Amino acid sequence: MTGPRDPRSSFSEESPVQGPLISGATRRSALGLLLGAPLLSACAGVQQSLSQFSNPFSSSSSSPAQPAGPPQQATTAGTGGVKVAVILPLSAAGNAGLAAQSMRNAAEMALAEFQNPNIQLLIKDDNGSPQGAQASAQQAVDEGAEIILGPLFAQSVPAVAQIARTRGISVMAFSTDSSIAGRGVFLLSFLPESDVNRIVEYSASIGKRSVAVLVPDNAYGNVVEAAVKAAVPRRGGRIVAFEKYGADRAAPARTVAQQLGSADALFIADDGDAVVAVADAMSAAGANLRNIQLLGTGLWDSPRVYASSSLQGGLYAAPDPAGFRAFSGRYRTKYGAEPVRTATLAYDAVALVAALARTQGTTRFSSDVLTNPSGFAGIDGLFRFRADGTNERGLAVMKVTTGGGVAVAGSPKSFGA
């Protein structure tokens, strides 16, 4: 999935290292990745379709829909002394396999762009199954892997985590399913919760605190429902209407439209095609969407949304586009193809572990280091791991225009407390 959404900011390559752990030194970071102070540096979704919870490309999919091909042979990249496993469904069928290949390319690209990395990547194909993932993890730890990057599918993560926990090593998985995080599993992915928190925070800051909500009746909608019901009151707001919809959008739209008079914002969490259909259903139900502030998640980063007259002026949370644009240009030059949108996750994961291997000694991949509250900054902007294994991202707020998303509030340069 290449995804129309371009995200993120680029960072300078030179960064002084400061803070109590390492002071008075300098390092050359991997292009686009600086570690947040006080850990290392002075520098303090995304096109993420709903199918990430259901289709074979999804990082939280149960399994690929088509039979996988024969497993690919394990390979290595780099010659450093710190061994890092990378587990991806390289032989999975369809989009999952294509995504995995692009993520492997990005991982190797990060290694090439980091100056003198002291890591070696142990690249394993999990064949898109928990059994394959567990076997890959066992092979990797037997070969001396100190941390595992991947897998992609949610159902494969527990199988990998079981092996990792016996050796006391961390897993940095690419799944979007928060329920599998924790106990040494950290999710480096685009989580809907970050989108919701950022857009609700911004909405409240511009005085829009009475929110009507429409979400799909599926796994993504369930995650968003929990997040928005927590975020709105936390920011001093109230939810004046809430409805879920399935194939029939008309009835929920009518219900919300009847209550829209007491709202100053309408939050619709869905992907490009669906959010346009929901907006059309609202208009058909008599709602004047020009009189209310429309809000969305990173799924709104879609040509269908930008082309919709009903959604013009809507606001959504997303990474700053500059970083992914720059990354994509370098990727095209190196590989002659477009990266999938999740390729930056693999890039950032490798660049992060390369930097930690250089600077953090024997505790380099411990939970205490990975959960540094200042976080890290990568291709996809600022991020940090929480103690529960989920992540928080520093996102921009974008406005829908016919020419694409335009930033109205930049991504934060540092995390608050």
Q: Tens-of-pLDDT digits for all 417 residues of the chain?
A: 333 333 222 222 223 222 222 222 222 233 334 443 323 332 223 333 333 433 333 333 444 456 778 888 999 999 999 999 999 999 999 999 999 999 999 999 999 999 999 999 999 999 999 999 999 999 999 999 999 999 999 999 999 999 999 999 999 999 999 999 999 999 999 999 999 999 999 999 999 999 999 999 999 999 999 999 999 999 999 999 999 999 999 999 999 999 999 999 999 999 989 999 999 999 999 999 999 999 999 999 999 999 999 999 999 999 998 999 999 999 999 999 999 999 999 999 999 999 999 999 999 999 999 999 999 989 999 999 999 999 999 999 999 999 999 999 999 989 875
Range of the domain at 362: 50-189+321-385
Same domain, 62 and 180: yes
Final residue of a domain: which of 287, 317, 347?
317
Instruction: Decide if 318 contacts 46 (C-beta within 8 A).
Output: yes
Dihedral sign computed on CA atoms, order 259, 265, 268, 269: negative
CA-to-CA dists, residue 325 to 196, 260, 300, 321, angstroms: 24, 38, 18, 6
Q: What span, in angstroms and rounded, lies between the C-alpha atoms of 164 and 166?
A: 5
Any idea what the CATH number is for the domain that residue 367 is in?
Answer: 3.40.50.2300
Alpha helices in 168-285 (DSSP H): 192-205, 219-234, 250-259, 272-284
Same domain, 181 and 149: yes
Dihedral sign computed on CA atoms, order 57, 156, 84, 15: positive
Same domain, 305 and 257: yes
What are the beta bridge partners of residue 268? Answer: 214
Same domain, 326 and 185: yes
Final residue of a domain: which of 317, 343, 369?
317
Same domain, 334 and 217: no
pLDDT at 3: 34
Q: What span, in angstroms and rounded, lies between the C-alpha atoms of 282 and 134?
A: 47
- The domain tally of the chain equals 2
Same domain, 228 and 278: yes
Tokens representing 238?
């109230």
Domain-located, residue 33: no
Final residue of a domain: which of 261, 286, 317?
317
Q: What span, in angstroms and rounded, lies between the C-alpha atoms of 398 and 377?
A: 20
Angle of helix 94-113 relative to helix 343-359, nearest 10 degrees, comes to 30
Q: What span, in angstroms and rounded, lies between the C-alpha atoms of 328 and 340?
A: 9
Domain-located, residue 30: no
Same domain, 144 and 202: no
Same domain, 67 and 212: no
pLDDT at 416: 75
Same domain, 133 and 181: yes
Domain-located, residue 78: yes
Convert the pLDDT of each residue in 31-84 to its tens digit. 334 443 323 332 223 333 333 433 333 333 444 456 778 888 999 999 999 999
Report the side by side order of strands in the sheet with 238-245: 238-245, 210-216, 265-268, 293-296, 315-318, 396-401, 404-409
Phi-psi region of 103 (alpha: psi -120 to 50; beta: other; left: phi over 0): alpha
Domain-located, residue 14: no
Same domain, 185 and 59: yes
Same domain, 198 and 306: yes
Instruction: Decide if 380 contacts 191 (C-beta within 8 A).
Output: no
Same domain, 288 and 227: yes
φ, ψ (nearest 5 deg) of residue 109 = -65, -40
Tokens representing 159?
């199988």
Tokens representing 80?
């450093």
pLDDT at 324: 94
Domain-located, residue 397: no
Domain-located, residue 286: yes
Domain-located, residue 71: yes
Domain-located, residue 299: yes
Convert the pLDDT of each residue in 377-387 to its tens digit. 899 999 999 99
